[in-house]
Chains A and B, each alone.
Chain A
Amino acid sequence: MGSGGDIPEIPARPDERERPRVGVDEWVANVEDRREERAGIAGLAGRIDDLVPPWARLAAFGLVAASLPLWMERGDLFAYGIFTLIYVLLGLGLNVVVGYAGLLDLGYVAFFGFGAYFYALLSSEQYGIHWPSAVSFPVVVVSTALLGLVLGIPSRRLLGDYLAIVTLFFGQAFVVFVNAANPTVRGKGLTGGPNGIADIDPNDLFGYELTTRRQQYWFILGAVLLVLIGLHFLSESRTGRAWRALREDPLAAEAMSIPVNRLKLMAFAFGAAIAGLTGCMFAAVLTAVTSGNFALPILITIYAAVILGGIGSLTGVVIGAIVINVSFQFLAPENPQDNARILFYAVIVLLLLLGIRPLWRLAAVLGGTIAFGLMAHAIAEAISPSWTAGAVVEGGRFGDVVADWVIIPADNERFANAAYIALVVAILALTKIHGWWRTGLLVPTVYLATIVWETSFVAQPAVARWILFGALLVFLMTKRPQGLLGTPRVEIV
């Protein structure tokens, strides 16, 4: 959980005052910088995060989450409830490896896949084995952890970068193995190739099969709460502190006689075990597994969730997973595009609201954008009616307003591509200019964003979501690497 630091107005926790005061001059000299970092909405969230004790946060999350099935529809519960919990669990596991130990594990999603496939083999018609969950869960979790140990062995000798690449290859090799290699065991393809394994048994609670969505949701929620509690104590423990020491400076940690190699392996195995556990529940909820569920895009999604919330912060991971999964589901191709449109405009307004001070400047940008759009639309229509003749995809009530404001040409493929490239260039330019120039450029940029949304993103929401997640990773890393609730790294020279 986020730690306070030594900024005067924040009450420091006792263990922080007892820390050795290494580099204290540097620390004092940087007080202003750090105070700056905690300004704004993210800083406010961080301060609230520090004030509320962990058990209260857990209770609040548990109560709200547990009441979800009581008012949510079944389909929504599946997409928004169960999947969010799956991402929370995956994020928590990844947080141990990346957030605590600072190891870049790009094969994490393969552990998830291994767990899911292994559970599927132990509880389906594939080989006619139907083990109860009480047996298959421990078996799967322990073997995934062992797999993590085996894969973690290279990290004993290799630098951080090499570990990243070995794990990336492992992830890729897993997909290739499952999909293409598919070795024959007992007269059958072990992993079912591109078809995967179907008809997987539901999880059971000591013989009682969990078949309805509500039961499955509560079951997974229970697992999430247990993992959260366990990780909280783990992160406050000797091991957790040693992990963080390792993350900040492996060399110094080793000099302090921390067993670096053993801790790296442990973190790896721990993360893998959580991924394996998640895999068991994921396979049972979906009742089928295919390799597509464990490929690169899912890895990126988990990373986006962990980094958005804040590497190393449990609360952050939970919030990040909720935000990422909700946007993920809004941008699903089967979701009515009207919903996605409303979310898109809401996010733009929210970003402007957070990013622009003072308020009159914000009002200028918003008013300017609306005026700019009306003007551009009128000019385009005057030049040629076909320039604005394109139809709004799945209008809804909001679509009619949009049609009179955004330029959507009748034959829009080339136009959409040009607009997309122009938008990327404008956003890159925005990061390099300041003051009035920036405010001035914001107006056409926001308008361009709406054009891109209406002409290409709406038609391919799944692609749009991967583009946005990729861009989010770069943006967060360059602007706020600690995410929403993570602790900023302090360089001690």
Chain B
Amino acid sequence: MIVAFNTELFIQLLVNGITLGSLYALIALGYSLVYGILKLLNFAHGDVYMIGAFAGYAVLSLLGGPLSPNVALAPLIVLMFLGAMIASGLLGVVIERFAYRPLRDAPRIAPLISALGVSFFLQNSALLLFGAQFRSYDSFVLGSKNPEFFEPGPLTDPLFVVKNVNIQLIQVIVLSTTVGLMVALTLLVAKTAIGKAMRATSYDREAAAMMGIDTDRVIASTFFIGSLLAGAAGVMFGLLFSQVFHFMGFLAGLKGFTAAVVGGIGSIPGAMLGGLLVGLAEAFAAGYLGGRWADLTVFGILIVVLLVRPSGLLGTPAIKKV
């Protein structure tokens, strides 16, 4: 069976993949930062992302709801991002303080189980607080002149068209915000004092502490930054797919983790690359193989990468000192 190559479908999937990939890359960065510094898999990270999405929804509701917002579209979106990022960041710090810090020197299995407990706790707390129904950002009508008649707003308007494929404003916003956050993060890690302290702590925590670095504070700020990025990703998900629910963090967390591992866990450019690859793989699998194989494809990629090159594409193989 020969199928004619469909350029439109291909470009559409490419665009979807890149948008989805930026989301996963942001989540992956949180995993990578924390793993780099504590060698801890933060299973609760996906749920921090979920809480970020709900925080964005809360800001939207406080400002009048999607149908009749009190402020203009641009400040509204900026406020949603800010609210979600701050809420998630603080949540990350609280989780670190209460669930991981007491286990800093425990056997490695203990913080993992604790993380599993936190993840489950957050998921079900969200279920208790927000209920099982989907909450909608209604990004379709957001900023529209006649939302009650479901007139599409500017977010989903085609900004420009490539080969009959509409590129929406929201996709451009997502991509540019992601790029902006990543540049900011790279600068932070490379140029600032706290970035330097983070690098030192991830290289050798004990030695860093002996050099007068307050490692507890460095670790807390790492959690803050990683969770902040997850919160931004949560709002992006809400804007892109318009619905948030209590269980959304689980799969997104797994995929973000896959992205981090594919790129090389602990490496910041690796997380970005990995996110993009996973997003593209998922979009193309969904487009060409069917939606039910999308998740299994991502899991398959993870298993293959782990078996063939556990250190990931851009990671350095761990040298074990005895």
Using a CB–CB distance below 8 Å, which chain A residues touch chain B?
98, 102, 104, 106, 154, 157-162, 164-166, 168-169, 172-173, 176-177, 180-181, 251, 296-297, 300, 303, 307, 417, 420-421, 424, 428, 431, 456, 460, 463-464, 466-467, 469-474, 477-478, 481, 489, 491
Contact = CB atoms under 8 A, between A and B. Distances in A.
Tell me if B's interface is mostly helix, strand, loop or mixed.
helix
A478 to B, nearest CB: 4
A154 B303 contact: yes
B75 interface: no
Interface centre among B105, B112, B258 (most CB of A within 10 A): B112
Contacts of B310: 157-158, 162
Contact of B306 (A158, A251, A307, A472): A158
A482 B318 CA distance: 30
A184 to B, nearest CB: 13
Nearest to B43: A168
Given A180-B292, A420-B129, A161 B120 contact: no
Nearest to A474: B117
Given A303-B113, A303-B116, A161 B39 contact: yes
B237 interface: no
A456 B126 CA distance: 13
A474 B127 CA distance: 19
A473 B114 contact: yes
Given A296-B120, A431-B98, A477-B111, 9 more contacts: A160-B108, A161-B40, A173-B296, A180-B292, A420-B125, A466-B123, A471-B121, A474-B121, A489-B107
Interface of B: 39-41, 43, 94, 98-99, 102-103, 105-114, 116-125, 127-129, 250-251, 254, 257-258, 261, 292-293, 295-296, 299, 302-303, 306-307, 310, 318, 322
Nearest to A424: B125
Contacts of B302: 165-166, 169
A469 to B, nearest CB: 7
Contact of B108 (A161, A296, A473): A161
A466 B118 CA distance: 11
Contact of B109 (A160, A169, A421): A160
20 contacts: A157-B307, A157-B310, A158-B306, A162-B261, A169-B299, A172-B299, A173-B299, A181-B296, A296-B120, A297-B120, A303-B116, A424-B125, A463-B124, A466-B127, A467-B124, A470-B119, A470-B121, A471-B121, A474-B117, A478-B114
Tell me if A's interface is mostly helix, strand, loop or mixed.
helix
Nearest to A248: B107
B107 A176 contact: no
Contacts of B322: 251
Nearest to B300: A173
B117 A464 contact: no
4 nearest interchain CB pairs?
A473-B117, A470-B121, A470-B120, A477-B114
Contact of B120 (A154, A166, A431, A466): A466
Contacts of A181: 292-293, 296
A93 B299 CA distance: 25
A477 B299 contact: no
B98 A478 contact: yes
B320 to A, nearest CB: 8
Contacts of B296: 173, 176-177, 181
Given A169-B254, A169-B303, A473-B117, A420 B128 contact: yes
